[in-house]
Structures are given as structure tokens and as C-alpha cells.
Structure 1
Amino acid sequence: MTDTRGRKRRQPEGGLVEEGPLGAPSISETLALTGSGAKSAPRLRLEQHIALQVKRERVSQGLKIADVSRISGISQGMVSKIENAQVSTSLDTLSRLCDTLGMPLSKLFADFDRADGHAQLIRSGEGLEVVRRGTDKGHTYHLLSYKQGPRKLFEPFLVTMDDASEVFPSFSHPGTEFIHLLEGRIEYRHGNQVFGMAPGDSLTFDGQIPHGPERLIEVPIRMLSVITYADES
């Protein structure tokens, strides 16, 4: 089987985050970033993390800085500096602030050391177009996950076929393959068995047994193909 590494058609573009005066996004920018899940914010310093937690809690309760200052006995200027990560304050002051907001002190530090995620988002139409054995028979393959590290565990493809008169070769490869038909109708062979498939149908099989399209009944055909490989560690 042809190596799946091929030319890249398009790749996702990461967004840029403007830096604030402390070399990190402002609190308002960070609130927007953490709420959307669309971008990755740089790691915050402890003062910035505390500032984010305090401001988020105050805003959620509809309180003004003046309200927090009056109840806690902490000056408005100090509350403002805490919320903007402009000061490192004592635990006693933070404890009074938390009592005013009705939140445990431990919540200020929650998730501060949370590990970075390693999720990879591939948006519609942005998978890597790769060359495989069926490419010269009218199949188009878009790899939907890559950069998996030194050992490949699985390969997910979006496969498109649009030539109803073509004769297709059989495939054989290591691992287990799962296919899910998204669009069109197809007869798919695995060994001596032929399966008729319609949109929404799925098929799982041993990839080492010869398999492949037997007949394209209704084109275009779009299907998700996921090949998993055994972990030999």
C-alpha cells in the first residue's frame, strides 16, 4: 500500500492573540478565549490566573468593584489591581476577597497546573489529500488526523468516489478497518463476502483480508474510513 504521506492541500491556520501589558492576553481577552474553545490561550502566570478567577466570579454575580470593596474592606484600587494581575497580594487579602464573593479560597488555584491539551482540529475541507492505491482509480483520500508522533496508531480518511463505471482493485493492509457510508450506495467486498451499503451503514473488518468496492451503485460516494493498528508495546 502506498505511503499515506503526500502533498498538503490546505492546513488549519492558528489564530494570533494580542499581548497585554504583562506579556499575556488581558483578562477580558482571556475570558473570551476560554469561553469559545476556538483558540488556545498562552499559559497564565499565577497572578493572572487568580485575576481571571476573581473577575469571573464577581461578574457572574453582577457585582461592581465598589460593592466588593465595601463588603470586604479592601480598597477599590487593590481589588482593581488584583483583577488586572498588577499585584501579588497576601493570602489573608485573597481569603477576605473569597469570603465576600462566597467562594472557597482553593477555587482561586483550581486548574492552575492543568496540563495542556493536545487535540487537533481539522476543519471541513482542510484534511491532507494523500495518494493511496485507489487514487488512480478515481478515489480521493483526505487524511483527517496527522502528527500522531513516532508511532502511528490509527488513520482516519474521508474517501470520495464518483466514477460509477470504473473497476476497482482490492486492498490489503495491516490493522482493522472501519468504514461508515455518508453518501451514495455501494457494494463492498471483504474476502468472499459482498455487502450492500446505504448511507448510515457501517462495516468493520480485518484489513489483511483483500477488500474494496465491488460496485458503485449510486454516486457520488463519500465514506469515513478509519484504520487502527495494534499497539505492539
Structure 2
Amino acid sequence: MVNQQMNPTTIGKRHVSAISTIDESTSAETIVGLKIRGLRNEKRFSLKMLAERSGLNINTLSLIENSKSSPSVSTLQQLAKALDVPLSAFFESEPSAKRIVFTTHDHRPGAEFSHAFMQNLGKDLKDNAVQPFIVTLKPEAGSGEQMIVHTGHEFVYCLSGKIEYIIEKESFTLIPGDSLVFEAHLPHQWTNIHHDESQLILVLYPADQHEEPGGRHFPIE
């Protein structure tokens, strides 16, 4: 359910200037909008170019950048892939590479979107070689019709609720305590089949440190 890249989270001057006004009172939608615009400017993409690369409507992008629309995780996944950045780049601040990351239960960096709440447990980890998340899925949240494929391995551990994973054509139903580990090049998709929220630990181990599996892992609209 999620994707990232190694050190492409380094923020250029244009990106820094775009997010310099962010503080603790800034809404998640505003933070995401500012960071998308900053990353787009850093890559020297026009709004039209990013729309074409991501497959999103240009008007939708404009609304997101101007904090007038809250993007789904699926939309962020498309943007992360188009911008060649980790999904976490949209809600992290001033990244600095660390060899050790200690995160207390009440200080997990995260962001809430239309059908999921993501908490990044590996914020600023050097090279993002391991990308751990706690993901809370709303009822009926799913990754869509298109199967997800990326490099490396994927680990999923169900904390609560009930989640269905389909890997190739095989179905796995996870309830609390169940886990999955698989080669992520195998086409896969997921759905929260619980009547309430489901929560899981998702750990991505990309083989290519220039790939962002976290950004690729969430639904593609």
C-alpha cells in the first residue's frame, strides 16, 4: 500500500521556498499542495507536463496545489511516480539522512487523505532502503483495478480489521496477527473488506534505490 525512492527526497531551493511557510497549524491539504508545487517547480515541470506524466486532469492538479481539493492516496501515488519521489515526500519536512530513526507513539509523522491515514515510521532514514508505514484504511478502501508492481519485497502485518491481498491470482485474507511477505514484482492489489477501519504495518524493501514503491503502491485511479 505504499512507495518511495532513495534520497530523491532531497529538497531543492525552489521546493524549500515553496514550503517555508509551513508550520504546525498548517492543514494536511495545504502542506501537500505546497509540496507538490515545490517539487514540480524543482523538476521544472509545468502543470500541463505533470498532468501528462501522472495521467491526472490539469484542473484537478491545480485544485490540489491550491489546497482546494484533498487528494486520495491513489492520486498521490501517481504524483509520486511522476515526480520520481517517495510518497512520504508529500508530508515530510526538511529531510536529513539518519542512520538511526526512533519514533515515539505520539510523534509519528503522517498525513490523512480521502480513504487512508499513513504514518511514516522511517522518516529521514538514510537512503530509504527500508520504508515502514502504519496504514489505517477506511471501510471499502482498495487499490483499484490495476495491479501494483514494483521491485524488492513487501511485508504486510494486519493490526486490526480484515484485509484482502490478491497476489497474481491467489487471494489472502489477513486478520489481526496475520502477515504476508512476497516478491513485489508479482502483481498485487489490496482491499479493506472489514465493515470498519483496518490497520496494518506495511514495510517496503525496494531493490532499486531509485524507485519509490511506496508512491506506486497505493491505488491508481
Q: So what's the TM-score if we normalise by structure 1?
A: 0.45
The structure whose Rg is larger is 1
Larger relative contact order (Cα-Cα within 8 Å, sequence gap ≥ 6): 2
Q: So what's the TM-score if we normalise by structure 2?
A: 0.47
